[in-house]
Structure 1
């Protein structure tokens, strides 16, 4: 009887463990071996965009897909999770995603909460203007112009505080509103990272309408955010990024996603985040 009771208890324990594994498989950033959850932006053309038909496209999406494949996951194994700027650290720390690839600039404040792999892209703050506008060639030209950016943007404040204090700043809820204003001549320029601007300008409906001025008003090193202390994953992602550059894929992805905007990208940056 004692043997039978022990066997029953063991069987129950095994069943409970199997159930727990099944329940915890892919909802915590890809816990099982078959699925992985990756954080991206859903609303940034050229970087991370969820299209009306439910597909995902952009440079960040392509980079994330390449890295995932090097980690052993096919594209069909990926679950994409929307990762707004303000939520990226929480999603990583809570285990909702395995890693985040979302125009995620590496800085000291963020490194206190999460670790990074990379960088995989060096972007700069720039200006987007109408293609036929030759009156804006430097930041100081904005002193007599209307500048648009999103509410609370550090890019806009950088211009107002340091470069063109007399610029007429209009803040909108999103970059799309700024783009509409730029096209309709309600504003003269839009400012944020050049990679984001190139993504918008490269959209089919916008091709030929806008141009990047080509200023380098800041350095933004995009990294892949992951849970703090996960050095094994960091090393594996860095290895994947190095391979992506060496096999030519990185250049192909830049051209694919930003080429139509004549984006003059920097060369692939060297891996810096290793500890």
Structure 2
């Protein structure tokens, strides 16, 4: 927060009073989640995931994660205009929270034991499954079919390593910065498959420029429990976000967000998960 400077003409008593008040306000503003007129909350999202987190050409943001983050921020006391969305790529999520670059992250952030060592997770708020996006005229019946194939995913994602470890150790892995780069490679033939969560893949497959070109393989290679990441040890923030997620489900706003963002792709989502229930 930028504090107003007191003019030289102000009386000494008034100056001291304003300074004390300003210091008190600054201390309060350091705690994310409290409400104040011109305070902002910074939320990490993805910018290139249609249906989940997408920055549109006009500068607005759409997607299920965006809707969830907006609902949560409002429950924390922030108006929609006080939410600052910040691009947070998969490889940067833990660091962004540790440095305080963002207050929380809603960015297709799968809850894993390894990640829980560095950050705390509210939720889960969505259960997705790892799948493959392939060209419309290709067929992949099982994970093992990827041996010898060129597989693309993003740096920092657990999806590609999951395929290499459990199904296709001889897959040729290509890791890039964004899923959009994988889509370009899949379209050109530079890679044979893109792997990540089915929710993300469904968003891409439903885009106008890709309709009829790609399809989901229809494999459930893993369970992905999406959580909201917060800085390690921030229990107050964690509890507030969990309460907001529970309210979002109970008042049907969760169902409305699912329909609005995944409905066009005919994505068959799982029911809203219970807070703290991690499906292995």
Category of TM-score, reference length = shorter chain: 0.7 to 0.9
| Structure 1 residue 147: Cα displacement | 2.4
Q: Distance in 1 between matches of 2:83 and 2:92?
A: 20
Task: Give the secondary-structure state (helix, strand or coil) at the position aligned to 2:147.
Answer: helix
Alpha-carbon RMSD: 2.8
Could you tell me whether the CA contact under 8 Å between 1:29 and 1:38 is conserved in 2?
no
Contact 2:34 2:76 in 1 (8 A): no
The answer (yes or no) to whether the contact 2:124–2:225 under 8 Å persists in 1 is yes
Find the counterpart in structure 2 of residue 247 from structure 1: 251
Match status 1:83 vs 2:84:
no
The 3 A distance-change label for structure 1 pair 207 and 245 is farther
Matched, 1:265 2:264: no
Which of the numbers 186, 194, 197 marks the counterpart of 2:198? 194
The alpha-carbon deviation at position 205 of structure 1 amounts to 1.9
Q: In structure 2, what is the equivalent of residue 221 of structure 1?
A: 225
> CA offset at residue 213 of structure 1?
1.7
1:29 is displaced (CA, Å) by 4.7
Q: Is the contact between residue 104 and residue 229 of structure 2 (CA under 8 Å) also seen in structure 1?
A: yes
1:112 matched to 2:129: no
The answer for the alignment partner of 1:39 in structure 2 is: 44
Q: Is the 8 A contact 1:50 1:56 kept in 2?
A: yes
**Is this contact kept in 2: 1:159–1:165, CA < 8 A?**
yes
1:166 aligns with 2:132: no
Q: Paired residue for 1:13? A: 16
Mean alpha-carbon deviation: is it higher for 50-59 or for 141-150? Answer: 141-150
Give yes or no for the alignment of 1:183 onto 2:183.
no
Aligned length: 265
* Structure 2, unpaired ranges of 5+: 1-10
Q: Partner residue of 2:147?
A: 143
Mapped to 2, the partners of 1:64 and 1:231 lie a distance apart of: 18
Range with bigger deviation, 57-66 or 26-35: 26-35
* Corresponding residue number in structure 2 for 1:4: none
Q: Give the counterpart of 1:157 among 153, 157, 161.
A: 161
- Offset of 1:173 from its aligned partner? 4.1
What's the CA shift for 1:145?
3.5
Separation in structure 2 between the aligned mates of residue 208 and residue 9 of structure 1, nearest angstrom: 72
- Within the alignment, does 1:235 sit opposite 2:239 as a pair? yes
The Cα offsets for residues 9-39 of structure 1, whole Å up to 9 and x where unpaired, read as 6544332234446777878756652332222
- Judge conservation of contact 2:147–2:169 (CA < 8 Å) in 1: yes
CA 160–137 in structure 1, closer or farther in 2 if over 3 Å, else same: same
Task: Give distance in 2, aligned partners of 1:236 and 1:204.
Answer: 38
**TM-score (ref. length: structure 2):** 0.81
Post-superposition shift, 1:263? 2.1
- Alpha-carbon shift at residue 151 of structure 1 (Å): 4.7
Q: What 5-or-longer segments of structure 1 have no aligned partner?
A: 1-7
Q: Which residue of 2 aligns with 1:62?
A: 67
